[in-house]
Amino acid sequence: INNNPEYFYHGATLRAADDVTKYSVVESIIETLPHDARLRSYHPDQGYTYLRDVQAVLSHIKKAGLTPQDFKKVLDKNDQDILVLNERLGPILSKTVSQSSFDEFTAEFSKLHKERGNANVLSYHSLIDALYMNFTSSVHEKTDLSAWKEKHTEKNTKGDREFNGTSRADILREFLTVYEKYSTEMFNQGYYDFDDMILDVLKAVEKNETLRFRLQEQYQYILVDEFQDTNYAQFQIVKLL
């Protein structure tokens, strides 16, 4: 970043934020959320109870190589898939598991995957793809379906089965709001955090051929120490180089 400022932050020089600064920025954003937002849950002695969870989730999202715009694309596709999964498969999963319901579910899920599967979101499998691959690799008979159903679905207020993402959609949208505001506020205050640095380099190298060719020429060989601890964003940088 320092050696190639023309590709980062419109030429501005940012500085690494310490933990107190990051904490303060996230806290100030949570304060702006609607009063009924789950992430705004507050305890008189402990403050905002989800604050540390928000920081951890933001870090995970960035390590997955997702900008706020990318994360929104994933959520939009997930919401579409959840509606279809609940409509097509929910009624079958609400039945008692039997050989006939197992056969019915297997046939319908296979049909759904042929219709709407193989649709990646960015570089990730869609929710339908991911669930279908998990299903075909772990469910081989009706007794397996019971455990799979308990793991991936839950009962709604009417007692019907819904896929887990249904109840989490709203809070994931809250995380998206915080992420969008966090990125803007950190930039406005002249800060970035470590995960930002990795993600920003990844996006710059992806977008700019000149920068990518320059770095490829500069670093002819790369040795990755502790490769098993490499996250997706870091791996993508190495792969691009």
Q: Per-residue pLDDT tens for 77-103?
A: 999 999 999 999 999 999 999 999 999
- Pick from 207, 132, 136: which is nearest to 163 by CA? 132
Containing 241, the helix (H) or strand (E) segment is none
pLDDT tens string 56-83: 999 999 999 999 999 999 999 999 999 9
Mean pLDDT, range 19-47, rounded to an integer: 95
Residue 93 φ/ψ, nearest 5 degrees = -70, -20
Q: Quick one: pLDDT at residue 119?
A: 80
Q: Quick one: pLDDT at residue 117?
A: 82
Confidence of residue 30 (pLDDT cuts 50, 70, 90): very high
Q: Quick one: pLDDT at residue 223?
A: 95
Instruction: Decide if 11 contacts 1 (C-beta within 8 A).
Output: no
pLDDT tens string 192-221: 999 999 999 999 999 999 999 999 999 999
Q: What is the pTM of this model?
A: 0.89
Separation CA 164–CA 143 (nearest Å): 20
- Pick from 163, 73, 61: which is nearest to 120 by CA? 73
Q: Quick one: pLDDT at residue 194?
A: 95
**Both tokens assigned to 163:** 């896929």
Separation CA 71–CA 177 (nearest Å): 10
Q: Quick one: pLDDT at residue 124?
A: 86
Separation CA 30–CA 129 (nearest Å): 34
Helix (H, G, I), strand (E, B) or coil at 72: helix
